[in-house]
Amino acid sequence: MTKEQRPPILLMTDADGLAENTRPCFVVLSISRREIESGNWASALERLLVLIDTAANAQLYRECLILEVKGYDDDTRELAEIPEVREYFGHLSRAWPHWLWFLYRPGGAVSLLMSLLCPVKIHREAGRFGVEFTDVDQFTSVLTDLLERTSAMCGAFDIPMADFQASMDSAIENLHAA
């Protein structure tokens, strides 16, 4: 997505409001600690399913999804170190695997998602941290599954292969940049 293509507004709404929207916008998927700890991923799934309700929605919300996980600010661990967060996103991703098409690229969202779905080691130094994927085979398997399932969605919606390829290339590039 180029700077000129970025949506002009930020949309924070429920699934009904999202389904009624026709303007390009950023979509914030806000997930609370309460939802995570109770294992309630149905609400998040309901909102995500709207993104793939129609071919028009899939195109409208391409690379516009921002993840927000609330309630862990006082936890010294990174999200990828919290078992409940990893389990929650594992369940959610099995039900809705289209993250690579929809995640907003700046800010490391693709890397964050992959760190929640794959085994990692967190490296800390001088107030900063880095993520090391510790099982390359599992990382490759998860990434391949996400790519294949997103490809199927794009095929079902007759999204041009060039658009699919450009989006997947930018997701991979985002992983390398993180």
41-80 tens-digit pLDDT: 999 999 899 999 999 999 999 999 999 999 999 999 999 9
| Residues 6+ positions from 100 with CB-CB distance below 8 Å | 110, 146, 147, 150, 167, 168, 171
Task: Provide the whole-model pTM.
Answer: 0.87
| Residues 6+ positions from 51 with CB-CB distance below 8 Å | 18, 27, 57, 58, 61, 65, 98, 102
125-168 tens-digit pLDDT: 887 788 889 999 999 999 999 999 999 999 999 999 999 999 99
Terminus-to-terminus CA distance in the chain, angstroms? 18
Structure tokens, 128: 């900063």
Q: What is the pLDDT of residue 94?
A: 96
d(CA 100, CA 150): 7
Q: List the one residue out of 26, 27, 25, 46 whose CA is nearest residue 35.
A: 46
Q: What is the mean pLDDT of the chain?
A: 89
Task: Report the chain's C-alpha Rg in angstroms.
Answer: 16
d(CA 98, CA 77): 27
109-126 burial, b if ≥16 CB within 10 A, otherwise e? Answer: bbbbbbbbbbebeeeeee
Structure tokens, 132: 């090391």
Q: Could you give phi then psi for residue 132, rounded to 5 degrees?
A: -115, 125
Neighbours of 49 (CB within 10 A): 16
